[in-house]
Chain A
Amino acid sequence: MKLLSLVAACALVSASVEAKTFLFPIPQEVAWSGTTAILSKNFSFQGIQNKNLQKAADRYLDLIKKERWVPVSVGTDNTTTTPTYNELQGINFQVSDNSAKVDLGVDESYTLDVPELGGFANVRAATWIGALRSLETFSQMVEAGEKETLVAHTAKINDAPTYVHRGILLDTSRNYYPVKDILRTLEAQSYNKMNVLHWHATDSQSWPLELKSLPEISKKGAYSAKEVYTAEDVQTVIKFAEERGIRIIIEIDMPAHTASIVESHPDAMICTDVFWGPYAAEPPAGQLNPVSDYAHDIVKTIAKDVSEAFPDSVYHTGGDEINTKCWDLNEDVQAYKAKNNMTTLEVWFEWTTNFLEYVKTDLKKRPMLWEDPIRDGGDYEKNTIVQTWLSPPSTYTAQGYDVVVSNFDYFYLDCGHGGWVGLDERYHSPTQTETPEDVHNYAGNAGSWCGPFKTWQRIYGYDMTKGIEKDHPGKVLGGELAMWAEQTGPTVIDGRLWPRSASAAEMYWSGSYDRAGERRTVKQSSERFYDWVYRLQARGINAEPVQPKYCATHPNACDLNDPSLEA
């Protein structure tokens, strides 16, 4: 008798499979049962055997009570949800591996069953990190119910990431971010099931990272004593990230993008005393000397120090935007080239080969590298992870490299806010009206080399599988949005990162295609995405609005084309 009624209920339920909450990023498989259950006042967790999972469970329980979410987006799904008033007592976790390391390729899959009949929801996950992801999903199934209650929409969810590497690059050199801003960014990443913060810690403008082995570099190269990440700060960031299943991959960009080393070690540098224009991609100029033992020692000391401080198995060696003219100014480089019959580019390739070998063999880390030296003709060990920003990722998967995609014309979040170099007269329009020859100010890029601004729609439109053939020996590990900080800082970081990073996060987690092979489109994700913007804001992330609120509450009224005319 009981069994029978259960079967009948299931049949009814399956009829209204579309009843849903707005999940973001969308799980791989969701089977809604079309009912809601009430969260018990004594909602509790069972089966937790990992301290980070316990902390997360506590955190999410606080969050769902605090946010009491009421969707802002009005959905186009008209199927009704039946409240059952069954009590959901809690979540029971069954985690196979409670001591997995947060690292490249760790299993993040989970199943989440929120039963119609109440009782305990069930999570099964291969690792505790997968269980973290299920908690995020569960929080998105909970909404404010009648009176003081919270209700959970009941469903069976089967989920796993499409890509293992789902990240944001944060540049803390051009402008400094206090630790609290980095932590809030990690929190926002965890809401979006992202798992990598690529910390582009240093660059030519400032060196905020304190090194035990060479403390003078940040002492002299940081913007100020306050704008430094101490060893303690670094531990705080790593721990906060680990608790949320996020890897911190540190990058100390070398041998270009290092001018700030000149403040403490001028003898290791070339061309730091010349105006930047001919010698660097941006101000100021200055590259490490590639033929100096003194400079090599510094490089190795730094890489050793940093790779020991960060537990991840991947270490980002940098390697972008070498300016050969800078090196050519130096007599030792000239002599080395002449002696070895090498071009300046070849000096760079050799330097890179040696450095990658050191990272791999001595430091026991898997190196990650900007695509530049390969694009320019260098060839490296295939266990090197290539980060693309210019060429299609297939260029490198074909060569056998694994790739992290950050192509600038999709994923550079700094683009489109004009230029920042000084005394630039190009903004001046003598007639103050549009002219055909003024391609700077009128519909042009107004000083931003990578304009226009990358919208969430543009980002979402990227197909991560494009051009990647089955016979390519390398694969796409995932992607990263790049938050270069020339024109950003703590005052604007949230609005610049979010919600655009969420748009990428869905592509990274859910993939550009669903399990049936259908392309995910802006059209389908819109109502979920719009609601997610408001929800991120409610969770304390100052995400930028993407539309008038009117559009969220009037589905399709703000479409570009009349939906009634569409086939």
Chain B
Amino acid sequence: MKFSIAAAAAAILFASVDAKTLLFPIPQSVSWTGSTNQLSNDFKITGAKNVHVKDAAKRYNKLIHKENWVQVQVTPKQTLKKGGYLSSLHIDVKNNNAKLDKGVDESYVLEVPAKGGKATLSAKTWVGALRGLETFSQLVQAKDGKKKGGKLVAHSAKITDAPTFEHRGILLDTSRNFYPVKDILRTIDAQAFNKMNVLHWHATDSQAWPFYFKSHPELSEKGAYSEEETYSSKDIKTIIKYGQSRGVRIILEIDMPAHTATIGESHPDYMICADKFWAPFAAEPPAGQLNPLHKKANKLVRDIVKEATETFPDSLYHTGGDEINTACWELDAGIQKYTKQHNMTTKEVWFEWTTDLLKYVTKTLKKTPIIWEDPVRDGGRYPKNTVIQSWIDPPSTYTKMGHDVIVSNFDYFYLDCGHGGWVGNDNRYDSPNQTESATDVFNYGGGGGSWCAPFKTWQRIYSYDYTHGIDKSHKGKILGGELAMWSEQTGPTVIDPRLWPRSAAAAETYWSGSYDKKGNRRTVKAVSERFYDWVYRMQARGINAEPVQPKYCATHPNACDLNDPSAA
């Protein structure tokens, strides 16, 4: 008798499968039951064994009560069945000791039963449990869409989920401008909300060296903008630990042998062209590259890389390697002599230097190196276990060669683009007539000084297809992608809106993939209502995401479309 009632109820429930909350990024498979459960007053999250899952359980239980979410985006009216009271969410993890690292299993199954009682979250690893907790938080909303009263409901569903790409990251450049630790931690939180798992820390560059090395404290002592603008050993540990607790790997990059002019503050003799005006000798000011033939410079490089790989637990280490300027190196008599003696080009000196460094990283330090595509693009060839980060060429170029690839193509993923230029005394902004002219392609409809304009919108980012051009015969594969937050024109005052919500658009393509399980392409059209609500929800969670539309558009679905939806 009881059983048949349950069966009948289940049948009714499945009739209204559309009942839903707006999940972001969308899980691979969601079966809505069409009912909601009210969370019991003493709702608990149980079963956590791993310390990070225990912390996350506490954190998310607090978050769902604090955010007491009321959807901003208006969606078609749903008929919801009243389920029962949800007393708990029970977490069951097979492997509580998995290392947070490349390829760790992040899959989970989350079931919130139609008639209430106990929800379950099963995951192969504790990292998957973190992802499931995030999804659970997104199933929870204020009861009856009213904040008053503080009662919460969880929409009931069975969710089976796993990431499409194992590498889902943001590159943060802390050299051009400095970010206090708290801003980095908030960014990690926002990444976790979006199921991202990598913070690529581009820690140093030619403008400042904020990163403290025990083996070479002089680098930051002399190369940081100031003592306050330095990441101490303690800061670095704090960041790694915070990332760990949210399932976010911190991959360090100490970019070399270009992008190193700041080393000149402490070791001027290791550098070439650091005394020159930047333009002919560097991609941007200031100029200065490590001398690839200088023994002490190479010893310094090894000391740094050794300490960095020991400090950071991840099995991947980013060796940098972008934007070498051969004209810089050619100023040096030693280089000239060396190339002549060995009948080499300057590029070949670079390739050789790179080969040696990669070998040191793999053989001696036992790490997998990531390298910017530049030396490969320019003709260098490296062991295929080197992961390539692409920013210019299509990633298929490198999968074909047998390399695994992280995609950061500038014309989709460079978040700094479109805010004009930052070099000084630039007269190109002057328009003598102050009106549009056909010859002024700089100020009118042009890039306005930004080399990689226009601004990369969330729609543009979302439209990137990672599978484009990747053939089954390719020996390498796409590991995932990274948005790049170069900091020439950003800093703590604007980091949130520059990263969010655009990084969320990428996060869905990283996690959910550009295609759903049926092979249908995910489109801006299909994602919009979830995305729009997610912008407001991130703001409510304390992330200063940039608005992407007037709120009117969220509350009037399709009224702000480009084309009349009724004419379609």
Enumerate chain A interface residues (CB-CB to B < 8 A): 173-176, 204-206, 223, 275-277, 283-284, 392, 407, 409-410, 416-425, 427-429, 431-434, 441-448, 451-458, 460-463, 466, 485-489, 491-492, 494-495, 521-523, 526, 537, 542-551, 553-554, 556-564
* B493 and A544 contacting across the interface, CB-CB below 8 Å: yes
- CB contacts (< 8 Å) of A563 on chain B: these are 277, 425
Residues of B close to A488: CB separation below 8 A: 546-547
- Pairwise interchain contact A485-B550, C-beta atoms closer than 8 A: yes
In Å, the complex CA distance between A553 and B419 comes to: 22
Contact of A206 with B279 in the complex, beta carbons under 8 Å: no
Across the interface, which residues of A come within 8 angstroms of B427, CB to CB?
Answer: 521-523
Which 5 residue pairs across A and B have the least CB separation, nearest first?
Answer: A452-B448, A455-B420, A418-B457, A446-B454, A205-B552
CB contact between A455 and one of B448, B455, B460, B469 (< 8 Å): that residue: B448
Q: Is B528 among interface residues, defined by CB-CB distance under 8 A?
A: yes
Q: Is B539 an interface residue (CB 8 A)?
A: yes
Q: How far is the CB of B124 from chain A (nearest CB, A)?
A: 34
Chain B, 529-568, contact with A by CB distance < 8 Å: what is the 0/1 string? 0000000000100001111111111011011111111110
A550 touches B563 (CB 8 A): no
Q: A283-B553, A488-B546, A543-B493 are in contact. Are A416 and B418 (CB under 8 A)?
A: yes
Knowing A425-B524, A564-B277, say if A277 contacts B177 (CB, 8 Å).
no
B418 touches A427 (CB 8 A): no
**Distance of B469 from chain A, by nearest CB (Å):** 8
Contact B443 A452 (CB under 8 A): yes
Question: How many interface residues does B have (CB within 8 Å)?
Answer: 91
B494 touching A451 by the CB < 8 A rule?
no
List, in ascending order, chain B residues with CB within 8 A of A558's CB.
Answer: 278, 285-286, 422-424
- Whether B463 lies near A428 (C-beta < 8 A) is yes
Contact B459 A277 (CB under 8 A): no
A487 touching B421 in the complex, CB below 8 Å, given contacts A455-B449, A545-B489: no
Contact between A548 and B463, CB atoms less than 8 A apart: no
- A547 contacts B422, C-beta separation under 8 Å: yes
With contacts A416-B455, A491-B546 taken as known, whether A559 is within 8 angstroms of B423 at the C-beta atoms is: yes
Q: Which residues of A contact B449 (CB under 8 A)?
A: 452, 455, 457
B35 interface hit (Cβ, 8 Å)? no
Residue of B nearest to A431 (CB): B468
- Contacts of A451 on B, CB cut-off 8 Å? 418, 445, 448, 453-455
Chain B: CB-nearest residue to A173: B550
Is the C-beta of B446 less than 8 angstroms from some C-beta in chain A? Answer: yes
A-B pairs with beta carbons under 8 Å apart, 14 shown: A275-B564, A416-B454, A419-B562, A420-B548, A420-B550, A421-B549, A421-B562, A423-B528, A452-B420, A453-B420, A551-B422, A558-B285, A559-B285, A560-B424
One of B177, B277, B464 near A545 (C-beta < 8 A): B177
Checking B229, B412, B430, B469 against A461 with a beta-carbon cut-off of 8 angstroms, the contacting residue is B430
A455, B419: Cβ atoms under 8 Å? yes
In contact, A554 and B286 (Cβ under 8 angstroms)? yes
**Residue ID in chain A nearest B556 by CB atoms:** A284
How far in angstroms is the closest Cβ of chain B from A313?
30
Q: Which of A416, A458, A486 contacts B429 (CB 8 A)?
A: A458
Beta-carbon nearest neighbor of B557 in chain A: A422
Distance in Å: Cβ of A420 to nearest Cβ of chain B: 4
B417 to chain A, nearest CB (A): 10
User: Known contacts A457-B426, A466-B434; can you find 14 more A-B pairs with CB under 8 A?
Assistant: A173-B550, A409-B444, A427-B457, A428-B463, A432-B394, A443-B446, A452-B446, A458-B429, A522-B426, A545-B177, A547-B422, A550-B208, A557-B285, A561-B425
Those of B493-510 within 8 Å (CB) of chain A: 493-494, 496-497
Within the complex, which residue of B430, B431, B456, B528 is in contact with A422, where a contact is CB–CB below 8 Å?
B528
Contact with A along B271-303 (1 / 0, CB 8 A): 000000111000001100000000000000000
* Contact B547–A418 (Cβ < 8 Å): no
Closest to A275 in B: B564
**In the complex, chain B residues whose CB is within 8 Å of the CB of A457:** 420-421, 426, 429, 449
Residue pair A556, B424 in contact (C-beta under 8 Å): yes
Partner among B544, B547, B566 whose Cβ is within 8 Å of the Cβ of A175: B547
Chain B residues contacting A442 (CB-CB under 8 Å) are 411
A421 and B488 alpha carbons, distance in the complex (Å): 29
Find out whether the CB atom of A557 lies under 8 angstroms from the CB atom of B494.
no
Q: Check A547–B488 contact: CB distance below 8 A.
A: yes
Q: How far is the CA of A547 from the CA of B493 in the complex (A)?
A: 13
CB distance from A105 to the nearest CB of B (A): 26
Q: Chain B: which residue is nearest A391 at the CB level?
A: B435
Chain A residues with CB below 8 A from B398, complex form = none
Q: Are A420 and B429 in contact (CB under 8 A)?
A: no
Q: Which residues of B sit under 8 angstroms from A495, Cβ to Cβ? A: 493-494, 497
What CA separation (Å) do A454 and B448 show in the bound complex?
7
Q: Which residues of B sit under 8 angstroms from A423, Cβ to Cβ?
A: 524-525, 528, 558, 561-563, 565
- Within the assembled complex, what's the spacing in Å between the Cα atoms of A432 and B410? 11
| Contacting residues, chain B, for A554 (C-beta < 8 A) | 286
Give the residues in chain A near B448, CB-CB below 8 Å.
416, 451-455, 458
- Give Cα distance in the complex from A205 to B550, angstroms: 7
* Cross-interface CB contact of B411 among A223, A441, A544, A550, cutoff 8 Å: A441
Q: Is B207 an interface residue, CB under 8 A from the partner?
A: yes
Give bound CA distance, A206 to B465, whole Å: 37
CA distance in complex: A429, B455 (Å): 15
A553 to B262: give the CA distance in the assembly, Å.
Answer: 13
Q: Decide yes or no: A545 and B494 within 8 Å by CB, A418-B455, A462-B434, A557-B278 being known contacts.
A: yes
Q: Assess the B551–A422 pair: CB atoms within 8 A.
A: no
Q: How far is the CA of A557 from the CA of B565 in the complex (A)?
A: 53
CB of A448 within 8 A of CB of B556, answer no
Most-contacted residue by chain A among B423, B444, B555 (CB, 10 A): B423
- Chain A residue at minimal CB-CB distance from B396: A432
B450 at the interface (CB under 8 A from A): yes
Q: Which residues of A contact B497 (CB under 8 A)?
A: 491-492, 495
Contacting residues, chain B, for A487 (C-beta < 8 A): 546-549
Choose one: A175, A425, A522, A548; the contact of B177 (CB below 8 Å): A548
Interface centre among A432, A445, A551 (most CB of B within 10 A): A432
Are B425 and A443 interface neighbours, CB within 8 A? no
Query: CB distance A276 to B277 under 8 Å?
Result: no
Q: With A and B bound together, what is the CA distance between A434 and B430 in angstroms?
A: 28
- Nearest to A542 among chain B residues (CB) is B493
